Amino acid sequence: MRSGPACLTPDELSAAELELVECSMTGNRWEAANATFGPVRKDEPSRENHIRAQVLYQLLSGHGELSVGEDGEVKSVRAVRLYGATIPDHLDLRGVVMRCPLELVSCRFTYAQGPVLFRDASAPYVRLNSSVFRGGIDAHNLTVDGDFECGYVKSDKTVNLLRSRIRGAVSFRGAELGALGLQSLSLEDAEVGGSVFCDAGFRSYGSVTMFGVRVNRSLEFSGGKFVNPGATCLSLDRATIKGAVFARSGFSSEGQVSLHGAIVDGVVYFDGARLECQGGTALNLSSADIGDLRCGAGFEANGMVDLSQVEVANTVNFDGGRVYSPGLRSVNADGANIGGSAFFRSDFRSDGELRLLGATVGKQLNFDAGEFVNPGQHAIAADHLRVGGSLYFRDGARADGTLRFAGVAVEGQFGLNGATVESDALDAVSLRSASIKGDGVLLPAALVGNVDLRGASFGRIWDNERFRASRVLQDGLKYESLHPEPPAVTVQERLRMISGDPEGYAAQPYSQLARTYRDKGYAESARKVLVEAQKVRLSQASGWRGVLSFVWSAFFGSVTGYGYRPWLAAGWSFLVLVVGTVSVDLLSRRSPYFFEKTTGAPDFHPILYVIDTMIPFIDFGYGKWVAHGVAQFLASGLVIVGWVVATMLVVAFTAVLRRGE
């Protein structure tokens, strides 16, 4: 229950207070003659501007009626409206059901030992514009049928609207509230039927807390300044906003702006805003559910922008924005779910790591013409990202640090055309295990560092000399085709790129390239690739195994082209046949000692003798000719060569049949 002084009677009122009572009965505004916040009528005599709080209480509550006419009859109070008054004592309206609107404009509440109390009260509307409150305002659980206006008020202590119910708008436009380290304004768990205005020159020194607030229209913060260094300066955590949130040009903050877990049906605007929270989180939208996010041209955040687990129905747009968080995370969108597109284009700059780990973007993800700086670390880290459209990093986009897209799934294209990526310490680009359904357009303007394509899959790949000249890890890379095709890019160029893999030889890149050439009708190019693969494979061994591998590689390659040129074996066989025939003929002519005829032997013909000796499974009867001396060594050599060549031919033709060539 409210306790206070006894009710005043009309006889105890000052002249100014009696005038106020008269104005209240008609609804007119009472103005102090020496009011400093408005025009003073010079033709009026000076009037006292002090109005006691008890007078306001009695007029608003009806306790101790002061509105009595000359006939002694109680008159209704239509409105209590003051301009320029000074209220020197404590105004306590706790629990009062105000019977009329309250308007205290340009008034001074000089009582500093406690706040003006509206706790648990109700009113048709409350207007406190341009007033000064030395003790703050406590409107906890206040109910207002219309608007609650505190435009341009000044208070160095808390203004508290905790759990209030305002059916109209709440306005603190141009107000100056609070002191550093304290709560300046609280709308926690409040319900507002209209919009909330903290804009157009609003200043808060301390925290503005709107945890759990429910606003039926929009929040207006554009042009507001929120200062609470090292802590949260504006909290909309768990708020529900049916309209939009405007924090556009002129909005500035020192400390964290937080919308953690907030639900905003409309757009959240930070275009042109400047947020300062160095080394911390400047803007926190983690786990929020919003319609759109606009942090475009003129947006600057010195500190991280946290979008982790955010749900965005439509678009996220950072075009032209700036986020500075060197060595730390600049934008953290881990686990974000964006229904539309996400844009970080058009001179957007990120100093620090931009993260999209496990995020989902329903349409396009675009970094065109953006700048991403995090030297020696990840400029963009987006492992296991899902993109429903295309992913672009093109048209002058620049990264000083790694572009990491390991395990991403992209339904459209992946574009790197015209981009510059430099990373001396790590991979320049990582697409390890990525799945790109569309084209991979790998046409960078400059590329310094490794490119990891291990286990990745593409539709078509388009590349250029700069890309092919880089160190590309390719084991497990799959694609439908490579462009430009031969002869624009020769087989040798493709092989040089494969041989430049920092991890050394792997069979898969060669077989993938050969399969692609074969499918496109470049059979000879495919064979060259496979021959080169065998050469490289056999050259990998070291020590005595390396010597044996070298010998075997030289022999197998020269005899059958590593199984891909079986006609070479026929050529070598013909050469051996010619040399052998000439040698046998010379020896047989020189002396009958070298070849001795036995029973049943046919007449001697050097060429038939050589064929019979060389080729297994053929018997012309020349085995009954017995070779002696040098001829015996020659015959043994022909037998060995014959078996080896035959074996090579069988192996080679078996491989040909298996490949379907």
Q: Model confidence at 652, in pLDDT bands (50, 70, 90)? A: low
DSSP 489: S
| Mean pLDDT computed over 55-80 | 84
Q: Model confidence at 179, in pLDDT bands (50, 70, 90)? A: confident
Q: What pLDDT, on a 0 to 100 scale, did the predictor assign at position 601?
A: 72
Q: What pLDDT, on a 0 to 100 scale, did the predictor assign at position 617?
A: 65
The sign of the torsion formed by the CA atoms of 559, 564, 565, 570 equals: positive
| Mean pLDDT computed over 496-517 | 92
Q: Model confidence at 622, in pLDDT bands (50, 70, 90)? A: low
**Residue 435 corresponds to which tokens in the numbers above?**
């799945």
Q: Model confidence at 650, in pLDDT bands (50, 70, 90)? A: low
Q: Model confidence at 610, in pLDDT bands (50, 70, 90)? A: low
The crossing angle, in degrees rounded to 10, of helices 491-499 and 507-519 is: 160
The mean pLDDT of the chain is 88
Percent over 90 (pLDDT), the chain: 69
Q: What pLDDT, on a 0 to 100 scale, did the predictor assign at position 635?
A: 66
DSSP H or E stretch at residue 358: none
Q: How far apart are CA 325 and CA 352, in angstroms?
A: 5
Give the pLDDT confidence of 19-48 residue by residue, as tens digits. 999 999 999 999 987 655 443 344 443 447
Residue 463 contacts by C-beta under 8 Å, 6 or more apart in sequence? 442, 443, 482, 483
Give the pLDDT confidence of 454-492 residue by residue, as tens digits. 999 999 999 999 999 999 999 999 999 999 998 899 999
Burial 110-132 (b: 16+ CB within 10 A, else e): ebeeebbbbbbbbbebbbbbbbb
Q: How far apart are CA 285 and CA 259, in angstroms?
A: 5
| Mean pLDDT computed over 91-108 | 96
Residue 44 contacts by C-beta under 8 Å, 6 or more apart in sequence? 33
- Please check whether residue 86 is in contact with residue 111, taking contact to mean a CB–CB distance below 8 angstroms: no
Q: Model confidence at 74, in pLDDT bands (50, 70, 90)? A: confident
Q: How far apart are CA 588 and CA 148, in angstroms?
A: 125
Residue 90 contacts by C-beta under 8 Å, 6 or more apart in sequence? 53, 111, 113, 114, 116, 117, 135
Q: What pLDDT, on a 0 to 100 scale, did the predictor assign at position 608?
A: 72
Q: How far apart are CA 531 and CA 537, in angstroms?
A: 10
- Which class for 492: exposed (0-12), middle (13-18), buried (19 or more C-beta within 10 A)? exposed
Lowest mean pLDDT segment, chosen from 48-52, 261-265, 375-379, 564-568:
564-568
| 416 compared with 611, residue with greater pLDDT | 416
Q: What pLDDT, on a 0 to 100 scale, did the predictor assign at position 581?
A: 72
Q: Which of 133, 130, 96 is nearest to 114 (CA)?
A: 133
Q: What pLDDT, on a 0 to 100 scale, did the predictor assign at position 565?
A: 62
DSSP 602: P
DSSP 220: E
Q: Whole-prediction pTM value?
A: 0.83
Q: What pLDDT, on a 0 to 100 scale, did the predictor assign at position 553?
A: 54
Position 105 pLDDT exceeds 90: yes
Domains of the chain, start order: 567-659 (1.10.287)
Give the pLDDT confidence of 580-609 residue by residue, as tens digits. 677 766 766 776 766 766 776 777 767 776
Give the pLDDT confidence of 397-412 residue by residue, as tens digits. 999 999 999 999 999 9
Percent over 70 (pLDDT), the chain: 82
Q: What pLDDT, on a 0 to 100 scale, did the predictor assign at position 102?
A: 97
**Residue 36 corresponds to which tokens in the numbers above?**
């400093």
Q: What pLDDT, on a 0 to 100 scale, did the predictor assign at position 660?
A: 42
Position 352 pLDDT exceeds 60: yes
Q: Model confidence at 3, in pLDDT bands (50, 70, 90)? A: low
Rg of the Cα atoms in the chain: 44
Q: What pLDDT, on a 0 to 100 scale, did the predictor assign at position 573?
A: 67
